Amino acid sequence: MNHYKLAVIIGRHQIPHAGHELLKRKALEIADQVVVILGSSFQARSPKNPFNWQERKEMILSTLTEDEKQRVECCPIRDYYNDQKWNAEVKRIVSEYSSDDVVLVGHKKVGDKDTYYLDSFDGWGYVGIESTYKINASQMRALYFEAENIDTSLSSVNDLILPPVKQFLKAWSSRPEYTELVKEHAKIKQQKALWKGSPYDVIFSTADAVVKMDSHVLLGKRKYHPGRGLWAIPGGFVEQHESVLHTALRELKEETEISLTHKRLLNDFKSVKVFDHPNRSCRGRFITHAHFFDLTVEVFPDIKAADDLQEVVWVAIDKLNSMEEQLFEDHFHILKQFLAV
């Protein structure tokens, strides 16, 4: 087998498991240096993405010797919900370590639609790894968040999780973030159970209102799970009798009690964009229409938290970058599409 200057591994590593370890071992074997690209970084914690990229890096490095750690770099990448932008950013990150002699190490699961990206890096070598492990990361996280006894649950996957990672997971389960995610996981599971047995795939339609006023945008803090305590764009489910624009206006009024009439809001309505990436929500398949209103009124309209929000505020747009990990689901991405973020 050829030896390379740089090997690249791409994945979310939520939770790092034996399959990831196979990739890491092969990468260390065939290359001088290894770069692990950690996907879905800079997001609010959720049952699907419970660990930030620094925690995932800690788990990944915990299974290496001191010499191996010197050869491995873990680099975060956010979700762009756009394959071309994401691919370009991966290449940019990798170019900081090597511009040539790069190999991608991966595992293509039969019938797995999530590993198509492995074929999108022209100019790189590719080494595929075969694995006998039957690993479902979603089931592994469910086991973690549904554990009545954390030691018993982790012992049931002893052959899939290395001891240092197991130790990390046990220690992390004593943190308040774990307690919140247990509740979050239970709520999402309960909601999904309502649609179990449907003869068709369930697709939800929602509408949001991005409301800008001068250099500020209107955001609300969610009161309930899922996403309790996270900042979000006002919005909600489309009802049978209404258009998506009507939904956006109705939800805006219900959640923020903004002191503007529908007619006045429509006067400042600028555009609408569809956000339909299949992985944009932990709750299932959600397609939303985000409506952009750029207010031209002379003073900030009155607002008051209502419905399922615990707080509403006008947030300075230049503060949004520092709030990325406090925003619900893909709402940072939505705001980026309309505002100079």
Question: Domain residues for 330?
Answer: 203-338
- Residues 136, 188, 13, CA angle at the centre, nearest 5°? 35
Q: Does some domain include residue 68? A: yes
Q: Does some domain include residue 228? A: yes
Q: For 30-53, what is each residue's pLDDT tens digit?
A: 999 999 999 999 999 999 999 999
Same domain, 130 and 234: no
When divided into structural domains, the chain yields a total of 2
pLDDT, mean of residues 3-13 = 97
pLDDT at position 133 is 84
Q: For 91-150, what is each residue's pLDDT tens digit?
A: 999 999 998 999 999 998 766 667 788 988 999 999 999 888 888 899 999 999 999 999
Same domain, 334 and 208: yes
CATH number of the domain to which 12 belongs:
3.40.50.620
Q: For 241-250, what is each residue's pLDDT tens digit?
A: 999 999 999 9
Q: How far apart are CA 59 and CA 249, in angstroms?
A: 45
Q: Does some domain include residue 304? A: yes
- Select from 119, 134, 149 the last residue of a domain: 134
Token couple for 268: 């400042």
pLDDT at position 112 is 66
Q: Mark 271-284 as b/e (b = at least 16 C-beta within 10 Å).
A: eeeebeeeebbbbe
Q: For 283-320, what is each residue's pLDDT tens digit?
A: 999 999 999 999 999 999 999 999 999 999 999 999 99
Q: Does some domain include residue 171? A: no
Q: How many CA atoms lie within 13 A of 45 on its CB side?
A: 18
Same domain, 126 and 232: no
Q: Does some domain include residue 97? A: yes
pLDDT at position 115 is 76
Secondary element (H or E) of residue 6:
strand 4-11
Q: Report the sign of the C-alpha dihedral through residues 302, 305, 311, 314, in that order.
A: negative
Q: How far apart are CA 332 and CA 325, in angstroms?
A: 9
pLDDT at position 224 is 97
Q: Cβ neighbours of residue 61 under 8 Å, at least 6 residues apart?
A: 69, 72, 74
Q: Helix 137-145 and helix 176-193: axis angle, to 10°?
A: 120
pLDDT at position 130 is 87
pLDDT at position 111 is 63
pLDDT, mean of residues 54-66 = 98
Mean pLDDT of the chain: 96
CATH number of the domain to which 278 belongs:
3.90.79.10
Map residue 178 onto helix, strand or coil: helix
Q: Does some domain include residue 146? A: no
Residues facing residue 10 across a β-bridge: 37
pLDDT, mean of residues 76-90 = 96
- Select from 79, 101, 134 the last residue of a domain: 134
Q: Does some domain include residue 126? A: yes
| pLDDT bracket for residue 74 (50, 70, 90) | very high
- Select from 134, 166, 192 the last residue of a domain: 134
Same domain, 125 and 228: no
Q: For 238-275, what is each residue's pLDDT tens digit?
A: 999 999 999 999 999 999 999 999 999 999 999 999 99
Q: For 175-215, what is each residue's pLDDT tens digit?
A: 999 999 999 999 999 999 999 889 999 999 999 999 999 99
